[in-house]
Amino acid sequence: MELTGDSWHREQRRRSQDSIRVLNPTQQDYILLWDQEKFIVPSQEKDMGWGKGMRVMQRYLAEKYVREMKDKLILQKQDQKLAEIKEKLEKSGAADVSFNANMQLTSVQGVRSDVPEIIEKYYEMLWLGIEEEFGMDDMSQIQDNNTVQTTSERQVMDKFANKKYTKPEEVVANAPIVEKEVPVLEPLPLAVRRSGRPRKV
């Protein structure tokens, strides 16, 4: 249930500072711009300290990144599909290829950016989860139960908003068993064993 009023604004300010892990599935670094500042999400083969293709950033930045990367990936699929449709129309001798190709593209469900199922598919790929929640002590102050309307994409984002990031466990198969070496004590000289401590004279 979403909040509204002052409680909603307080909660949004708190949540905007959560640390979120995101993924870049492409072969190129993605540069996210916010208030004239650049944030790089490395390509899938580059590690900048968070893992290959990953970055941890504040929630408000992560939300902007996921929206932009989702749109970029869908646009790439649209361009590929449009090229395929044009090629088929040209081979069939159709007139006004560009117009007819774009008309056909609007009916292709898999490349539309307004379908919740498609949006969710990309969010699941790009949004890996929460690394750290900010200011959870303030949650006790929020008691407003009013709700507000949301768009399809906002509803999808809310579905992933509380997802925690779980680091994959590294399992080493057939790892060698290392046994501790027990030190061997040399026996005491015979004279010491018979007499014990030296006696005072």
pLDDT of residue 71: 92
pLDDT digits (tens, 9 = 90+) for 140-161: 444 444 334 456 676 776 777 7
Mean per-residue pLDDT, 163-170: 71
Half-sphere exposure of residue 131, counting CA atoms within 13 Å on the CB side? Answer: 14
Residue 185 has pLDDT above 70, yes or no: no
Measure the CA–CA gap between 167 and 101, rounded to whole angstroms: 44
Q: Which residues contact 106 (CB under 8 A, 6 or more apart)?
A: 112
Measure the CA–CA gap between 188 and 62, rounded to whole angstroms: 70
Mean per-residue pLDDT, 170-191: 49
Number of other CB atoms surrounding residue 69 within 10 Å: 23
pLDDT of residue 182: 46
pLDDT digits (tens, 9 = 90+) for 50-96: 999 999 999 889 999 999 999 999 989 888 888 888 888 888 888 88
